[in-house]
Structure 1
Amino acid sequence: MTELSFKGKEFVYNHHLAVPFRPLVPDESKGIGPVALDGNLVVHGDNLHALKALLPLYAGKVDCVYIDPPYNTGKSDWSYNDKVNSPVIQEWLDSNPITVDDTLRHDKWACMMWPRLQLLRDLMKPGAVIFASIDDNEVALFKHLLHATFGDNNNPKSNPHLGTIIWKNATDNNPTNIAIEHEYVHVFCLERDGVAPIWSSPWSDLKDCLLAKEQELLAANLSDDELSSQYTEWFRLHKPQLGPLQEYNQIDRGGIFTASRSVHNPGREGYRWDLMNPKTQKLVPQPLMGYRFPEDTRDELLAQDRIIFSDDPDQLIRLKTYVKDYKEKMPGIIEIDGRRGANELKKIFPESKQAFKNPKTYTLIEWLLSYTAGPDAVVLDSFAGSGTTAQAVMKLNERDGGNRKFILVEMEDYADELTAERVRRLIQGVPTSKDDEYKTGLGGTFTYCTLGDPVELDKVLSGETLPPYAGLGAALFHMATNRALDPAAVREDDFYLGAIEGQHVWLIYKPDLDWLKSPEAALTLARAKAFAASDPDKRHLVFAPARFVSQKMLAEQNIPVEFVPLPFALYRIDRS
């Protein structure tokens, strides 16, 4: 793999590790429903810090990411302001905002995106998919950055780059003689090797209808050819009523119960084997390049009655595909009018002339998510803007009855009055909207959060920072295990955080400076024995301000407890 280089890379390469943990601070008055950090979230804050704040709760738990970062068009639509401790970076900060005349604007954009992509990767679970929107300005550089983050492999079965979708949005914004009417969506998968993406069907809510028709035709004991023909004709006649199939302008599939002729492999030599056609009592003719599967697969298909034989002795075999087994490939080119996003936002904010500049249409994101985000998926958007991703998740749940959750991160001042307000109106309804779709709310809840002060452990005992138990505990648990903390497992009164394979984690702490300086805050021999007795077969890691028992004594008495002093925990825990 060719190494990607850009000015400033050496200074931002590990910057995501230096970003301090900051706890999520819920504001119940700005959300809907009870505070729930494991539910729908809208987070107001710098997305670099917000992604780090999400790690203790969501590391390795996000199923799908959609991001729409600044396109770096040179129109001063963003500024580089990450607090990287480097003279080179600090010099750049004096030349903001980024303009088309800035000869280093592509390097600055790469420096901005690099640490955010590293944190997004840490939040994703194996097999999770990221959709990254971009236009011609950074489409090539962005792909290289994503490859540098998720890996580069020429094996089609393990290459993290699943493809790049061309979005024809029918808006020409190019002053040259070539009409540019498209943008791009890079699609990458984390640890694809051995873990298949969730390729669900975008019409999953229609399967009941399709299955019913299929069962009706199967019960009629029709021949394979008649069954396929009748299903195809029924599908063609009913397609206009099948919602997203028409809405997304997808190509007519010609039926779901199919008799596929794609049984050979043109372009290279395939498998050679003979097969008797029971209808004609003659051998099935050999395809020019051979079959695309070996004999053992053929025998499995025969046993499952998945091979269709023809009355025509010169006809190749065909394969049956049933609705329940049908998996549709995502098209590489989609056409959704980009101006729809502004119209959708106008219906939600009828009192505003222009609520947001160039919002994406939620139908684009809903369409993308429908292929990858299962019914219980966690969907993250760290460049939330007007909150389009939240609407896409809510509409997809409405369509198929799913329970997907969204996490939105927005750093601009409009995070409350626009991003979160859009979610409020979608949940509660917009009585003043002229569109019936938005008058009645979709229902649901979400929690609004800001970012608290950084958790700097060396300042805890001085009293300069006293984070809440949950905030400090989540950060320490993640540092110790590289896993997300399960809030349901925490027992604050017992000083217990949670467990992973082979180890329990404890935190002796209260946000009270006098208490922290008292003997009550220390790890004693009696307390160590009590912790170990809860599960003698596992190790126990204990964070505490002090101890009254040595590690040597614990070892001599075979007490599987390891002490980590709070002020130095950041340096004692090796995350590698």
Structure 2
Amino acid sequence: MPLLDWLNKQDAVRTVQKVPYRLLEAVPELSAGDANAENLLIQGDNLEALKALLPLYAGKVKCIYIDPPYNTRSAFTHYDDNLEHSLWLSLMYPRLELLRELLAEDGSIWVSIDDNEAHYLKVMMDEVFGRGNFVANVIWQKKASPQANSVWLSDSHDHIICFAKNKDAWCPKLLKRTEAADARFSNPDNDPRGVWTSGDFTISLTGGQRGAQFAKTGQSNNLFEITTPSGRKLWPTKGRCWGSTEERFLELYKDNRIWFGKNGSNVPRIKRFLSEVQDGIVCTTIWLRSEVGDNQISKKEVMAFNQEDVFSTPKPESLIERIFEVATNSNDLILDSFLGSGTTAAVAHKMGRRYIGIEMGEHAQTHCQPRLKKVVEGEQGGISQAVNWQGGGGFHYFRLGETIFDEYGSIHHNVRFAALAAHIWFCETRVPLAKPADTPLLGVHDNTAYYLLYNGILGDRRPQSGNVLTQSVLDALPSHDGRKIIYGEASRFQKARLEVENIVFKQIPYDVRAV
């Protein structure tokens, strides 16, 4: 597979390993609504925030939507969008790597982008997610009319590039049927089975299973003469055959499932009844503004939250709703690490999805937090009426705190047991900790038990209190018959004794590694 290369790519590839693990510090006064809600709004650098989320959310995010800076060489108020091309690529690569780790096996990622970087982004995502996991390049009509001042062609669309974590595991949902789709059904012959539409009753002889059979044998059971009710005799056009064998055609005709037109002399078509079609329609890759909104609508939506400082590049709520309708179910976890004006989180909240939104600028507090607070209170903009949103739920506001290590290489004094436990568990198992740890035994993975001896769980620093592995501490730990990995400040056991007890001891802080 061809790979994209650029200046300083190798540094970008190694960036994730260099990113420190940071704590997430709760800001209760900026949280809102139900205290038991699982929704998170995080203020801070999204690369560091994504790294901080790994221990608890790796492999758990069902859908990722991001709207990164487009690198259009035009100054935006809230983003530095004037990045040189290689710098933009270096910005995106490590973030995509972390996003992939957070994505569930049956999850998908959707990235909004314009023509400036869309095709480079596609090749980069081929490398990170695997070319075979590419799903589609959606075209979104973002403008209603041409720009009169365009020098070349007036761009009317953006791209939304979609990849699955594992295309064999991901299954897109059908879209709800629309009135326009149902309007194509009628009942000109008063069929008692209800309204119907007709489809082509011929297939190509050069493609598909029947085409391959015809090419091999030189004949086809689907080539025969049909006589219409008016007496007209018909054969399929050159290169095509009928959609069934003659025997099956006669069964369909007897069942009044073949339509020859009102006069009974047209080429036969197969009847498809609305009562028998699938509950929804397959999503296409062209999304018109009449269906999902455009830039003008999105500007009006965000002005309802902040008229004095309108975000420059919002997306309409109905556009994000379309993505979630295709890619998620109720209560699935959504992630947006370029939250911007907060649209993704607002739509996820109204649609009953859990969400994590990350925004590094001050407008995480000035734009996103007020918007989500109004959503909790039941605001009626955007998709609210369409989904019957009445308010409720809540979210927790966090800021990025200290790194896990201080300037001397020791565990920072602000790091609590649960945070260190989640970090160690993920480093060892590469899966997130199921629930916050409150005992020395973090869990068992592949028949190996993981323990953490650290202040706040078994007392102070004296050996008898549990931070040092001694016989009394070992006796107090929950037992496990298999292999044991124990993190602690020190061990009083010699190598031979550790082998007898089937223990691998790892010393804090030296054996605590970055993710």
Judge same fold: TM > 0.5, yes or no. yes
* Structure 2 residue 153 is matched with structure 1 residue 178: yes
1:457 touches 1:566 (CA, 8 Å); kept in 2? Answer: no
Partner of 1:331: 285
The structure richer in helix per residue is 1
* Structure 2 residue 502 is matched with structure 1 residue 523: no
Change (3 A) 1:518 1:404: same
In structure 2, C-alpha distance between the alignment counterparts of 1:389 and 1:541, rounded to whole Å? 41
Classify the secondary structure of the residue corresponding to 1:330. Answer: coil
How much has 1:436 moved relative to structure 2?
10
* Structure 2 residue 398 is matched with structure 1 residue 449: yes
Partner of 1:111: 90
* Structure 2 residue 227 is matched with structure 1 residue 270: no
Partner of 1:133: 112
Change (3 A) 1:463 1:149: closer
Amino acid in the other structure paired with 2:496:
K
2:205 touches 2:239 (CA, 8 Å); kept in 1? Answer: yes
Amino acid in the other structure paired with 1:178:
L
Of residues 491, 508, 515, the one that matches 1:566 is 508
How much has 1:264 moved relative to structure 2?
3.1
Partner of 1:552: 496
Matches within 5 A, 1:231-310: 231-232=195-196, 260-261=199-200, 264-265=203-204, 268=207, 270-271=209-210, 272=213, 274=221, 309-310=257-258
Change (3 A) 1:441 1:529: same
Amino acid in the other structure paired with 1:361:
P
Change (3 A) 1:341 1:503: same
Partner of 2:173: 200
Change (3 A) 1:179 1:516: same
Matches within 5 A, 1:497-512: 497-510=442-455
Change (3 A) 1:274 1:67: same
How much has 1:125 moved relative to structure 2?
1.0
How much has 1:495 moved relative to structure 2?
1.4
In structure 2, C-alpha distance between the alignment counterparts of 1:545 and 1:292, rounded to whole Å? 78
For the aligned residues, what is the CA RMSD? Answer: 4.4
Matches within 5 A, 1:471-482: 471-482=419-430
Amino acid in the other structure paired with 1:346:
M
Change (3 A) 1:414 1:530: same
Classify the secondary structure of the residue corresponding to 1:127. Answer: strand
Partner of 2:230: none
How much has 1:333 moved relative to structure 2?
3.7
Partner of 2:163: 188
% same residue: 26
Amino acid in the other structure paired with 1:564:
K
* Structure 2 residue 117 is matched with structure 1 residue 162: no
1:171 touches 1:182 (CA, 8 Å); kept in 2? Answer: no
Matches within 5 A, 1:369-518: 369-395=324-350, 397=351, 403-429=352-378, 442-456=391-405, 462=410, 464-487=412-435, 490-492=436-438, 494-510=439-455, 515-516=460-461, 518=463
Change (3 A) 1:204 1:226: closer
Of residues 364, 368, 383, the one that matches 2:323 is 368
Instruction: Report the TM-score when normalising by structure 1.
Output: 0.72
Question: Which runs of 5 or more structure 2 residues have no equivalent in the other structure?
Answer: 214-219, 228-233, 249-254
1:469 touches 1:510 (CA, 8 Å); kept in 2? Answer: yes
* Structure 2 residue 171 is matched with structure 1 residue 226: no
Question: Which runs of 5 or more structure 1 residues have no equivalent in the other structure?
Answer: 81-96, 154-158, 233-257, 300-306, 398-402
* Structure 2 residue 52 is matched with structure 1 residue 53: yes
In structure 2, C-alpha distance between the alignment counterparts of 1:276 and 1:191, rounded to whole Å? 41
Deviations along 1:255-279, one digit per CA (max 9) or x if unpaired, are xxx66547735752532564899x9
Amino acid in the other structure paired with 2:195:
Y
1:457 touches 1:567 (CA, 8 Å); kept in 2? Answer: no
Change (3 A) 1:422 1:260: same
How much has 1:310 moved relative to structure 2?
3.0
Classify the secondary structure of the residue corresponding to 1:568. Answer: coil
In structure 2, C-alpha distance between the alignment counterparts of 1:123 and 1:552, rounded to whole Å? 40
1:507 touches 1:542 (CA, 8 Å); kept in 2? Answer: yes
Matches within 5 A, 1:86-101: 99=82
Partner of 1:237: none
How much has 1:357 moved relative to structure 2?
2.0
Amino acid in the other structure paired with 1:108:
L
Amino acid in the other structure paired with 1:136:
D
Q: Report the count of equivalent residues.
A: 483
2:143 touches 2:157 (CA, 8 Å); kept in 1? Answer: yes
Partner of 2:252: none
In structure 2, C-alpha distance between the alignment counterparts of 1:74 and 1:503, rounded to whole Å? 52
Classify the secondary structure of the residue corresponding to 2:195. Answer: helix
2:43 touches 2:400 (CA, 8 Å); kept in 1? Answer: yes
Deviations along 1:245-303, one digit per CA (max 9) or x if unpaired, are xxxxxxxxxxxxx66547735752532564899x99xxx988966789999xx99xxxx
Classify the secondary structure of the residue corresponding to 2:203. Answer: coil
1:70 touches 1:78 (CA, 8 Å); kept in 2? Answer: no
In structure 1, C-alpha distance between the alignment counterparts of 2:405 and 2:243, rounded to whole Å? 59
1:125 touches 1:190 (CA, 8 Å); kept in 2? Answer: yes
Classify the secondary structure of the residue corresponding to 1:187. Answer: strand
